[in-house]
Amino acid sequence: MNGRAETELARVVRDHAGRLAASLVSLLGDFAAAEDLVSDAVLAALERWPVEGVPERPDAWLFTVARRRGVDVLRRQARYRDKLAQLRWPAAPEPGDRLRLIFTCCHPALPRESRIALTLRVVCGLTTTQIASAFLVRESTVAQRITRAKRKITDADIPYRIPSADELGERLDEVLAVIYLLFNEGYLASGGEVTERRDLTEDAEWLAGLLADLMPAEPEVTGLLALIRLHRARAAARFDAAGQLIRLSDQDRGRWDHEGIAGAIRLLTRAARHRRPGPYQLQAAIVACHAEARTWADTDWPQIVLLYDLLLAHAPSPVTRLHRAIALSHVAGADAALAELATVAGQLDRYHLYHAARAELLRELGDAGRAREADRRALELTSNPAEEAVLRQRLHEG
Amino acid sequence: MKYVLMFCETEQWEKDWAAMDQAGRDAGFAKVQDWLARYSDRITHNRKLSDAHTATTVRLEAGGPIVTDGPFVEGKEVVSGYVEVEVADLDEALRMAKEWPACPLVEVRPVLM
């Protein structure tokens, strides 16, 4: 199967498996049992669809397989078996079912790695093998995380429902964090070379889009979707033909998807109308400033510094202060930026981008010796091959 | 669904409590009474334990039981009391735990039988 057919297959599975999982959990009232049935059906689909072709009604196909298997394996649990046997498809899936599924998978009582694995498997229909290869971890590790999480959901009685209004904000933050982590994992892992790994940024965009459809009144959800789209719209220009990371200042902006950028900015404008700014909307606004600049020289740095100030007021973090310092260097000069950086030196000493940013500022000030020292430190701390290559080249040139 | 909420004290919390005047402690007790009253219809059992220095641990080893002074985990965090609650699900138990007005750690566990 070629790459396109595989992507198409993944898309169909993702769309239909998630819906089936949502309906079955709701129907059976047993998260673990429903999840087992769906993941078996997904495995069967991945085996047979490439050979037989994708059926006309993939949802009905998956359902039929899940039901047959369910009636079989749930023989001893008559309660479930009878419910399953009576179920007709399509079982008008309620939008709330999918939302409930997402909130259960991202419950704070589960460890974070499990939330990600469970969301990918249950909501996006990925197999354990696909998750393991996307995260470069052993399959048994993923399987164990999912098994433990399912056991905890059942044994500790983690509910299958949308949190009540007073908890919704906090719980939604957890869901958004899972999607954002997923996106970052995919974004950082991507390279210029044709990769066999699944593009997790696409799954993250799909999840954020699903959530935005289900919760249109939550501006942070829309903000996260806009943020992901703004990044993805420029992904093609991030690497050169040899797979080398290209810095933002050197990227060919003609290769950006300008229609995609405009669409994401419209989303962000819509979110802003709610007048409830938050970290995702603000980060998207910062990325939008870069995406809208026709050239590197056109970048609206004062606006970016202002947005970082707002972001820091919402979510103080040393990494955000680092990024603000870099933006500040374009407004107030490298000296001012270095002074800013000094305030987070202790907290970010083990963070490679802190040293890489210092190196750049020192080089700008003509201090080549200390710049090299900082680049060397950055190189020691990074494990990302694309970033390593950039730093090596800089050390080689400088 | 039944859960037990185990309340744990930390060294720092104990120090702060010891440093408090009578009015401060009375206010602390009053908050706990409020919490207990607010959830009285869910709480099926409620116990405050004596200080950790009164604890004795019996270890059932192969060579016979060994009795030692102190709690079984010699740590900085000590269980000081517990309530058993009857609630709909984990979220409801977590909500109660989040509103607990006294010591800073609460472990929430379902009751098996």
Which has the closest alpha carbon to A123: A179, A165, A58, A180?
Answer: A179
Q: What are the residues facing B66 on neighbouring strands?
A: B59
Which residues of chain B lie closer than 8 angstroms to A155, CB-CB? 110
Q: Where are the beta strands (DSSP E) in A309-387?
A: none
Q: Which position has the higher pLDDT, B72 or A339?
A: A339
User: Which of B89, B91, B108 is the mutation pick for testing A, counting most A CBs within 10 A?
Assistant: B91
**Quick check: B90 contacting A, CB < 8 Å?**
yes
* CB-based contact A159 B110, cutoff 8 Å: no
Query: How remote is the C-alpha of A142 from its chain's centroid?
Result: 18
CB atoms within 10 A of CB A272: 17
Which residues of chain A lie closer than 8 angstroms to B110, CB-CB? 155-157
Among A89-93, A363-367, B17-21, the least confident range: A89-93
Contacting B residues, span 15-74, partner chain A, CB-CB under 8 Å: none
Q: Is A148 exposed, middle or buried (0-12, 13-18, 19+ CB in 10 A)?
A: middle
Structure token digits, residue B82: 């517990």
* CB-based contact A157 B95, cutoff 8 Å: no
Alpha-carbon distance of A221 to A180, in angstroms, equals 11
Sort strands B56-61 and B64-69 into parallel, antiparallel or unpaired. Answer: antiparallel
**Quick check: B111 contacting A, CB < 8 Å?**
no
In chain A, the residue whose alpha carbon lies closest to the alpha carbon of B107 is A109
Contact call for residues A101 and A17 (beta carbons, < 8 A): no
* CB-based contact B110 A157, cutoff 8 Å: yes
Among A42-46, A334-338, B81-85, B95-99, the least confident range: A42-46
In chain A, the residue whose alpha carbon lies closest to the alpha carbon of B4 is A156
Among A52-56, A77-81, A101-105, A149-153, the least confident range: A77-81
Which residues of chain A lie closer than 8 angstroms to B5, CB-CB? none
Local confidence band at A92 (pLDDT 50, 70, 90 cut-offs) = low
> Out of A156, A159, A161, whose CB is closest to B110?
A156
Contact call for residues A34 and A20 (beta carbons, < 8 A): no
DSSP A164: P
Which residues of chain B lie closer than 8 angstroms to A167, CB-CB? 91, 95
Q: Which position has the higher pLDDT, A13 or B107?
A: B107
Q: What average pLDDT does the segment B21-31 reach?
A: 95
Alpha-carbon distance of B34 to A187, in angstroms, equals 50
Which residues of chain B lie closer than 8 angstroms to A159, CB-CB? 88-91
- Write the CB contacts of A27 (distance below 8 Å, at least 6 apart in sequence): A34, A83, A84, A87, A91
* CB-based contact B89 A158, cutoff 8 Å: yes
- Statement: residue B40 has pLDDT above 90: yes
In chain A, the residue whose alpha carbon lies closest to the alpha carbon of B111 is A156
Task: With H, G, I as helix, E, B as strand and everything else as coil, classify residue A330.
Answer: helix
Please report the ipTM that was assigned to this predicted complex: 0.83
Sort strands B2-10 and B77-86 into parallel, antiparallel or unpaired. Answer: antiparallel
pLDDT in tens, A7-23: 778 888 888 888 889 88
Q: How far is A77 from chain B (nearest CA, A)?
A: 21
* CB-based contact B90 A109, cutoff 8 Å: yes
DSSP B49: P
Q: What average pLDDT does the segment A309-320 reach?
A: 95
User: Which of A100, A157, A158, A162 is the mutation pick for testing B, counting most B CBs within 10 A?
Assistant: A157
Q: How far is B110 from chain A (nearest CA, A)?
A: 6
In chain A, the residue whose alpha carbon lies closest to the alpha carbon of B98 is A167
Alpha-carbon distance of A349 to A330, in angstroms, equals 23
Alpha-carbon distance of A65 to A15, in angstroms, equals 16
Which has the closest alpha carbon to A25: A85, A113, A104?
Answer: A104
> Out of A155, A157, A167, whose CB is closest to B89?
A157
Question: CA angle, A6 as apex, A262 and A14 as ends, to 5°?
Answer: 70
Which residues of chain A lie closer than 8 angstroms to B89, CB-CB? 157-159
Question: First and final CA of chain A: distance in angstroms?
Answer: 46
Local confidence band at A394 (pLDDT 50, 70, 90 cut-offs) = confident
* CB-based contact A167 B110, cutoff 8 Å: no
Contact call for residues A361 and A341 (beta carbons, < 8 A): yes
Q: What average pLDDT does the segment A64-75 reach?
A: 82
pLDDT in tens, A183-209: 998 887 765 454 556 788 999 999 999
pLDDT of residue A194: 45
Alpha-carbon distance of A272 to A267, in angstroms, equals 9
Q: Which position has the higher pLDDT, B32 or A23?
A: B32
pLDDT of residue A91: 64
Q: How far is A183 from chain B (nearest CA, A)?
A: 28
Q: Which position has the higher pLDDT, A95 or A253?
A: A253
**Quick check: B99 contacting A, CB < 8 Å?**
no
Phi, psi angles (nearest 5°) of residue A333: 100, 165
Question: First and final CA of chain B: distance in angstroms?
Answer: 11
Phi, psi angles (nearest 5°) of residue B9: -100, 150
